[in-house]
Amino acid sequence: MERKLNFSAGPAALPLSVLEQVKEEFVDFNGAGLSLIESSHRTALYDDVHMETMTLIRELMGVSEDYDVMFLGGGATMQFGMIPMNFLKAGGSADYVNSGAWAKKAIADAKKIGNVNVVWDGADVNYASLPGKVSSSPDASYFHLTSNETIGGVQWKEFPETGNVPLIADMSSDIMSRPINVADFGMIYAGAQKNIGPAGVTLVIMKKELLESASDRFPAYLTYKNHAAKSSMYNTPPVFPIYVMNLVMKWLKSLGGIEGIQAINDKKAALLYSTIDGSKDYYKSPVDTAYRSSMNVVFTTPSPDLDKKFLSEAADLGMISLKGYRDVGGCRASIYNAMPLEGVEKLASFMKDFASKN
């Protein structure tokens, strides 16, 4: 089989070595005589994987004991609702940065629960940039931002200081792609299916101090305290995605951890942006250069017809899912952790070739 170079925004490419290991141990896990996905989550066979995955995440991201690590269902989308349910105080309000499509969804859910204060609105700049400086309201319940807008291709390079107001970040599309200081955040969350595993599990990292303030007036699953108290075994956890995430964490460690992968990610992004910038305006990126995403590189060719031709010829060469988001058009190369540098080199070389022929 010739493997495709998968530039999908998510679910996205996974490391080949991980897929092969899953295949190898799928039917008989560790010689136990059964598959891990047939095993009760209350057995040592699964428990070891679950707890080891949490430890690996702590180790890779430098998560201290002041934080809980949780594995939840419902995608990052579930967090859009759970965050205000748990933390938006009655009569209070929460700060949100409207940086694009995903931030908007988070804001829409928060508005169903309480008051939202949009502290910066990207609509004013067509969602192609981010605020240089933004402050939190002193009495906000929390301050929410989207560290990387997967559709618009804008990424925070430095995070705002929010003082006593807990900073909450949706890191779905750049988690573990670059080092961050977890201690700066009250909560970090990310659907796994871009950088850290398959769809079906959402990683939540939450400061215990913030957790203590969480509400418990909503149904059990929507109450963070229940998940934290039971190490994410309050109910049946998504065992298969957690197991694959375990393997992805080991793969990341073998590459030198998050610093190691960042060095590769920086090269990949630099190569694509220099190809765009060096094309004499053949390719154009709509994004402010200061906030260009290192994960989702958004660009256009000179016309929608050429975009189509570009996508079709790329697909013929095995480079798939380069189409921009349906409402946005153009092209988008998602180059998450598992996309190798060689894959991006092949894309950059095709881009140059295509521009000279068209």
Ligand X SMILES: Cc1ncc(COP(=O)(O)O)c(C=O)c1O
Stretch that binds ligand X, among 74-82, 127-135, 204-212, 241-249 (CB under 6 A): 74-82
138 prior amide bond cis, ω within 30: no
Nearer to ligand X, 11 or 302 (CB): 11
Catalytic residue among 68, 102, 109, 323: 102
Burial level of 133, CB count in 10 A (0-12/13-18/19+)?
A: exposed
Contact string (CB under 6 A) for ligand X, positions 114-153, x = contact? --------------------------------x---x---
Annotated catalytic residue, options 170, 174, 207, 268: 170
Beta carbons within 10 angstroms of residue 139's beta carbon? 10
Is position 8 an interface residue for ligand X (rule: CB under 6 A)? no
Question: Considering the rule CB under 6 A, would residue 81 count as an interface residue with ligand X?
Answer: no
- Of the residues 104, 194, 207, 323, which is catalytic? 194
Instruction: Kindly state the smallest distance separating residue 133's Cβ from ligand X, in Å.
Output: 22
Residue 18: half-sphere exposure toward Cβ, Cα within 13 Å: 24
**Among residues 339 and 351, whose Cβ is nearest to ligand X?**
339
Interacting residues with ligand X between 191 and 210 (CB under 6 A): 191
Instruction: Give me the residues paired with residue 187 across strands.
Output: 168, 206
CB of residue 150 vs ligand X: minimum separation in angstroms?
A: 3
Among 6, 10, 180, 334, binds ligand X (CB under 6 A): 10
Sign of dihedral through CA atoms 354, 355, 357, 358?
positive
Between residue 287 and residue 326, which ones bind ligand X under the rule CB under 6 A? Answer: none
Report, in Å, the least distance between residue 240 CB and ligand X: 16
Question: How far is residue 212's CA from residue 330's CA, in Å, rounded to a whole number?
Answer: 45
**For ligand X, which residue of 57, 72, 76, 328 counts as binding (CB under 6 A)?**
76
Q: Mention every residue, 6+ apart, whose C-beta is less than 8 A from residue 348.
A: 271, 272, 275
Q: Looking only at residues 227 through 246 of this chain, which bind ligand X when binding is defined by CB under 6 A? A: none
Q: Which of 15, 75, 84, 324 is in the footprint of ligand X by CB under 6 A?
A: 75
Stretch that binds ligand X, among 57-65, 69-77, 110-118, 134-142 (CB under 6 A): 69-77
Task: Supply the DSSP string of 12-32, one letter for each residue.
Answer: ----HHHHHHHHHHSSSGGGS
Nearest residue to 70 (alpha-carbon basis) of 277, 238, 253, 216: 238
Looking at the DSSP assignment, which residues form a beta bridge with residue 121? 98
In the complex, least distance from residue 321 CB atom to ligand X, rounded to whole angstroms = 13
Residues 163-192 that bind ligand X (CB under 6 A): 170, 172-173, 191
Tokens of 72: 């939840």
Give the DSSP per-residue string, 222-269: G-HHHHHHTTT-SS---HHHHHHHHHHHHHHHHTTHHHHHHHHHHHHH
Look up 170 and say whether it is catalytic.
yes
Q: Which is nearer to ligand X, 95 or 170 (CB)?
A: 170
Give me the residue whose beta carbon is nearest to ligand X: 75
State the number of binding residues for ligand X (CB under 6 A).
Answer: 11
The verdict on whether 102 is a catalytic residue reads yes
Q: Is 194 a catalytic residue?
A: yes
- Tokens 């250069």 locate to 289
Alpha helices in the chain (DSSP H): 16-25, 44-61, 75-87, 101-113, 208-212, 224-229, 239-254, 257-277, 304-316, 341-357
Q: Does 77 bind ligand X (CB under 6 A)?
A: yes
Binding to ligand X (CB under 6 A): which residues in 88-107? 102
CA angle 145, 150, 153 (to 5 degrees): 95
Please identify, using beta-carbon distances, which residue of 156 and 282 lies nearer to ligand X.
156
Which residues belong to the active site?
Answer: 102, 170, 194
Site of interaction with ligand X (CB under 6 A): 10, 75-77, 102, 146, 150, 170, 172-173, 191
